[in-house]
Structure 1
Amino acid sequence: MDEACDLKVRVNGRHTLLLHQSVVCAFSGRLRAMAAREKKAKGRGRKEALVSIELDGFPGGGEGFELVARFCYGDGRLPPLRPADVPLLHCAAAFLEMTEEVRAGNLLAQAEAFVDDGLCYWTWADVLAAVKSCESFAAYASGLQEKLLSALFSRTDAGGETPKSNCSSSSTCSSSSQETVGGRPSSAAKTPESVKPSCLSGGREWWFDDVASLSPPTLEKAMKVLGCHGADNKNLTLTRFLLHYLRCTATLRKANDSGGSILAGLADTAVHGVALAGGGGAFSCRGLFSALRTVSAAGLSRECRRKLETLVGRMLDQATLDDLLVSGDGGGVYDVSLVMRLVRVFVSSVEEAGSPSSSQRMRKAGRLVDKYLAEISPDQGLRVSRFLAVAESLPDSARDCYDGVYRALDIYLESHAELTVEERATLCRCLNYEKLTLEACKDLARNRLIPPRIAVQALSLQRPPDALKNPLSSPTPKRVVPDDEKEKEVLRLNLRRMQGRVAELEMVCKEMRGQMKLSPRAAAKGNKALAGRGLPWMC
């Protein structure tokens, strides 16, 4: 073209192109209107005058405008394209108003035809690349993005094979594709053999990792396009994918507030799917705990949290200690509040069921809670009230033996040496002394961290050894004790001896308090007299 360029276009303040008005404005209604306004504003009536236009917010930047210019200078023929270029070209055409009203066979119509006629022959990688390309300018490619997302997820149902149902006829699609790309047929290769429908480890499908590379807004739109967003989610496979996706992208919640809010919506969608499938046994107890950890990290609504915790709590007797060790948000190493809520749900569900296996399930949960207590006891952030709340969250019938609770209590006292005597006595409230074995009761009596009056009370309520079985100890053959009565008599004598020593200690304390009121000289004499007596020993 011999004519001088009479149109100067500056794209997004970074790229400048010199073009011909007669060529570009023939296809773009927006550039035609902007050039006319510029001429009128500056009074430039001469045809040779250079017109300058500023294009801000142009999708695709200089690269996108260059593709548009190549289309215009090619007399309305599409340049060779990759599937990933189509969203960019489509959005640029929509921005510049390159519609059929401006000129027949314009860029927008050809870009849509490129997708409609050739999409069925794109590979899985082509469709995925096109979907990712839409993320940069989703505001201008809403309709195209929905079409590509539908095609992408239809490939998952088809198992990676090319879905023929998307084309009216293979011959028409093939010929249209060749004409649109300018003599070069689009990629008609099928998905590779490595991408076949197979369930990977952890219930993952072959496409999970690929689709997990999409941004949260794109995935949210995909769920809406598929009709599986929020409470409408009834698809088990998509639910498993959402949990996989949330595990991969949970860090976005801290880095981006908007992305975090979208992730919270996706977490709610996943919970609705889990709740629907959980009733049918699609998720094990460990799977539910894993889902709870995942959605909690992404953030979810209070209603969905309550729904998921109800599912988990009803299966608490099937949980393991590792399942309960959930990290706390603050104030402690572990999330004790979560475990207490789960225990409340479990107790309520078992009591409502009233089945013959209820007592067995309750005892199993009791052993689990005792192990959990022993594990969290060293936590310096665990308050006395929280320890008691966990220990007393189960009814007394859930434990045949309280040795596990006593061991957890002993660990807690060793780890919290700063506790007062009153606090130690309060902690012992969670023990049922009648359900302590003889060995545990003897250890309690010798424990220097247990207040003496608690030890006396425990020994006084001790039951005969044969009346109590310790379920935590390994099963051993029953041993016949011929002198059982003699052992009980010795225990009663020790109890009376301890009570006498406690009374003697109280008398000595009273004498010492009385001497504090005397003169220093009299107090000194009194102390000298008491020095020869000595204090009684506690066993």
Structure 2
Amino acid sequence: MVKQEKIMKKAGRKEAVSIKLAGFPGGADGFELVARFCYNNGRVLLCPSNLPVLHCAAVFLEMTEEVCACNLLAQAEAFVNGLCYWTWGDVLTAVRSCEPFAAAADSSGLLERLISALFSKITATPETPTAAASAACGGGMGTPNRSSSSCSSSPDTVGFGRSSSSATKTPESMRPCAGREWWFDDMTSLSPPTIEKVMRVLGCYGVENKNLILTRFLLHYLRAATRRPPALCEGEREGAAALAGLADTAVHGVALVGGTAFSCRGLFWVLRIVSAVGLSRECRHKLERLMGLMLDQATLDDLLVSGDDGGVYDVNLVMRLVRVFVASEEEADAPSQRMRKVGRLVDKYLGEISPDHGLKVSKFLAVAESLPDSARDCYDGVYRALDIYLESHPVLSLEERTTLCRCLNYEKLTLEACKDLAKNRRIPPGVAVQALASQQCKLHISEPGPGAAAPATKERRPDPSACSQSQTPRRRVARRATRSVDLGGCRGGGGDDDEKELLRLNLQRMQSRVVELERACKEMKGQMSKMAKGKSFSFGAGAASCHQTGGRGLPRLC
């Protein structure tokens, strides 16, 4: 702690002694204050700003009554005993002054006494401290303005104003009353290790956090910490670790009250805040489970969380939330309205993330297939998202495009969407044939019997325009809603029978072309094998081959 070194001065060969005090509270400034006390006959002007350093220095140097009467430690203790007469600003200034030597202030017990006095002021002061009270003691921080940022900073749907029965488990002497958030902004000036010490003193750190008001304060503090410059926000390794611990503490408090105090949008807001400072895997799982159970209350804007794995959006998060929701709904025999609502939400999300060039085929399929088939009454929304994805990724191979179409249920496509799919050049031909075949089967099933009336058929048919427009992504509604598609190049407006007949003819025409193409390819392979055996590739052989195939080229597929 104290080192003595002899230094030989070259000039005059005189010896000088230097004393180094390692870990002295306050460094050179603290030592200067102690020296002034000693050279001023034991008199010093104590105030909230210099009390912590003088108190810790007196403990460090053991300046007790045993050495001298009315020593520095006795005077500092007498000043601390008057904490009940200090103003809010005085106590906050003293707590902030302890931060450079927090370990010494903590070991001496001074920091804990100041924190207890700080929250005693919060519980005892019904309103913001007045300016007169702050000016009476001098050197205070002034009047803290009543802060509404703690409420306005969060979304209106967060529901911070609601009370929770779990908050009653905090001791009455330390329990802040609801609505007294004037101290939130003042407390954000403290460092993360100091806030961690505050939560430990109150017995609300980690899993022990059962106070809604303190949870609100932690979220407000973490939000302010993320807006500071990186050097001030993270600080040293100790500060970054303290922020991560505070984030876990806030999540434990949020998970305790759950949906009674936080809406689904509020939970997404919490996730964005705590993810910016670091969150343990256990707390993330707890928060995501709570969000997944309320996924039917989410909106598209809530799901658009920025990604950190190379993509624009965090697709893995949405997939985890959908899995939690589906697992909670598996016990139901029939698909509920909540499941259908999530199905429409996922279709909109697919349409929004499809233009992302960093979105892989496997990720797109995973999101589209994360819901059971019963969650969607119509697959037009999935097809529109698929069309956007294929348009944004033109370099996909035929195999990849065929794999992508696996997420479609052709029987749940409307007639308009099915005709658009068959005409779409980005869709593989085999997929188009399957879609038209399933549509033809659906038309056969929906045909009326001999004694059935025509109006009954119209009642059984779903409204394709209403279904497709409800499932269409926002950016393509205006372009797709008024588009009329026809496979044969003409409009099928001559009634239901004409439209069915046209669809059958187009399907038969496409099937015959596929068969014709396969036959021509088979004949060409035979001719190539014959030419390879005879080692003859003359023009005459090519002409004979053309004559054997009927003198015509390969047929067009579409």
- Pick the aligned partner of 1:136 from 100, 103, 106: 100
- Pick the aligned partner of 1:116 from 78, 81, 93: 81
1:448 and 2:422 correspond: no
- Secondary structure at the counterpart of residue 269 of structure 2: helix
Residues 347/238 of structure 1: CA separation in 2 closer, same or farther (3 Å cut)? same
Deviation at 1:266, TM superposition (A): 1.0
Paired with 1:110 and 1:454, the residues of 2 have a C-alpha distance of 89
1:272 and 2:252 correspond: yes
How many residue pairs end up in the alignment?
470
Paired with 2:461 and 2:401, the residues of 1 have a C-alpha distance of 28
Asked if 1 retains the 8 angstrom alpha-carbon contact of 2:90 and 2:139, the reply is no
| Match in the other structure for 1:513 | 525
In the TM superposition, 1:57-456 aligns within 5 A as 57-77=23-43, 79-117=44-82, 119-142=83-106, 143-159=109-125, 186-187=137-138, 192=143, 194-195=145-146, 200-202=151-153, 205-250=181-226, 251=230, 256-279=236-259, 281-352=260-331, 354=332, 359-456=336-433
Paired with 1:96 and 1:240, the residues of 2 have a C-alpha distance of 41
TM-score where L is the length of structure 1: 0.79
| Match in the other structure for 1:44 | none
Deviations 1:301-334 (A, max 9, x none): 2111111001000111111111111122213222
Asked if 1 retains the 8 angstrom alpha-carbon contact of 2:354 and 2:385, the reply is yes
- Secondary structure at the counterpart of residue 345 of structure 2: helix
| Match in the other structure for 2:462 | 468
Paired with 2:253 and 2:417, the residues of 1 have a C-alpha distance of 47
Q: Which moved more, 1:327-336 or 1:224-233?
A: 327-336
| Match in the other structure for 2:502 | 490
1:112 partner letter: E
5+ long unaligned stretches in structure 1 = 1-29, 40-48, 164-173, 175-183
Paired with 2:144 and 2:524, the residues of 1 have a C-alpha distance of 91
- Secondary structure at the counterpart of residue 516 of structure 1: helix
Deviations 1:220-257 (A, max 9, x none): 11100011100010111111121122222244686643
Q: Which moved more, 1:255-264 or 1:466-475?
A: 466-475
2:557 partner letter: M
Asked if 1 retains the 8 angstrom alpha-carbon contact of 2:52 and 2:98, the reply is yes
Deviation at 1:53, TM superposition (A): 2.8
Residues 100/213 of structure 1: CA separation in 2 closer, same or farther (3 Å cut)? same
Asked if 1 retains the 8 angstrom alpha-carbon contact of 2:93 and 2:141, the reply is no
Deviations 1:33-79 (A, max 9, x none): x8xx999xxxxxxxxx98653323322222212221222233323x2
Deviation at 1:94, TM superposition (A): 1.3
Deviation at 1:507, TM superposition (A): 1.9
2:555 partner letter: P
1:510 partner letter: K
Paired with 1:130 and 1:70, the residues of 2 have a C-alpha distance of 20
Paired with 2:302 and 2:402, the residues of 1 have a C-alpha distance of 31
Residues 161/435 of structure 1: CA separation in 2 closer, same or farther (3 Å cut)? closer
Asked if 2 retains the 8 angstrom alpha-carbon contact of 1:135 and 1:218, the reply is yes
1:297 partner letter: A
Deviations 1:176-232 (A, max 9, x none): xxxxxxxx9834989737347996413693322221121111111110001110001
1:283 partner letter: F
Residues 385/474 of structure 1: CA separation in 2 closer, same or farther (3 Å cut)? closer
Residues 189/264 of structure 1: CA separation in 2 closer, same or farther (3 Å cut)? closer
Asked if 1 retains the 8 angstrom alpha-carbon contact of 2:87 and 2:137, the reply is no
- Secondary structure at the counterpart of residue 88 of structure 1: helix
Deviation at 1:512, TM superposition (A): 3.2
Deviation at 1:293, TM superposition (A): 1.7
Deviations 1:93-149 (A, max 9, x none): 1111112232232211211221221x2333322222211110000111111111112
Residues 441/95 of structure 1: CA separation in 2 closer, same or farther (3 Å cut)? same
- Secondary structure at the counterpart of residue 346 of structure 2: helix
| Match in the other structure for 2:553 | 534
Residues 107/450 of structure 1: CA separation in 2 closer, same or farther (3 Å cut)? same
Deviation at 1:160, TM superposition (A): 6.4
Residues 316/438 of structure 1: CA separation in 2 closer, same or farther (3 Å cut)? same
Asked if 2 retains the 8 angstrom alpha-carbon contact of 1:498 and 1:538, the reply is yes
Paired with 2:272 and 2:148, the residues of 1 have a C-alpha distance of 28
5+ long unaligned stretches in structure 2 = 7-14, 155-159, 161-180, 444-457, 472-480, 482-492
- Secondary structure at the counterpart of residue 139 of structure 1: helix
Residues 493/192 of structure 1: CA separation in 2 closer, same or farther (3 Å cut)? same
Q: Which moved more, 1:328-337 or 1:454-463?
A: 328-337
Residues 527/266 of structure 1: CA separation in 2 closer, same or farther (3 Å cut)? farther
Share of identical aligned residues, percent? 67
Deviations 1:254-305 (A, max 9, x none): 66433222221111101100001214x2011111011112212222221111
Deviation at 1:388, TM superposition (A): 0.9
Residues 91/355 of structure 1: CA separation in 2 closer, same or farther (3 Å cut)? farther
- Secondary structure at the counterpart of residue 140 of structure 1: helix
| Match in the other structure for 1:13 | none
Q: Which moved more, 1:400-409 or 1:481-490?
A: 481-490
2:217 partner letter: F
Deviations 1:414-454 (A, max 9, x none): 12222221111111111010110111101100111111111
Deviations 1:433-477 (A, max 9, x none): 01101111011001111111110110111134853344352699x
Asked if 1 retains the 8 angstrom alpha-carbon contact of 2:405 and 2:431, the reply is yes
1:228 partner letter: C
Paired with 1:198 and 1:331, the residues of 2 have a C-alpha distance of 34
Asked if 2 retains the 8 angstrom alpha-carbon contact of 1:160 and 1:195, the reply is no
2:99 partner letter: E
Paired with 1:38 and 1:102, the residues of 2 have a C-alpha distance of 26
2:204 partner letter: C
TM-score where L is the length of structure 2: 0.77
Asked if 2 retains the 8 angstrom alpha-carbon contact of 1:200 and 1:206, the reply is no
Asked if 2 retains the 8 angstrom alpha-carbon contact of 1:123 and 1:187, the reply is no
Deviation at 1:151, TM superposition (A): 2.0
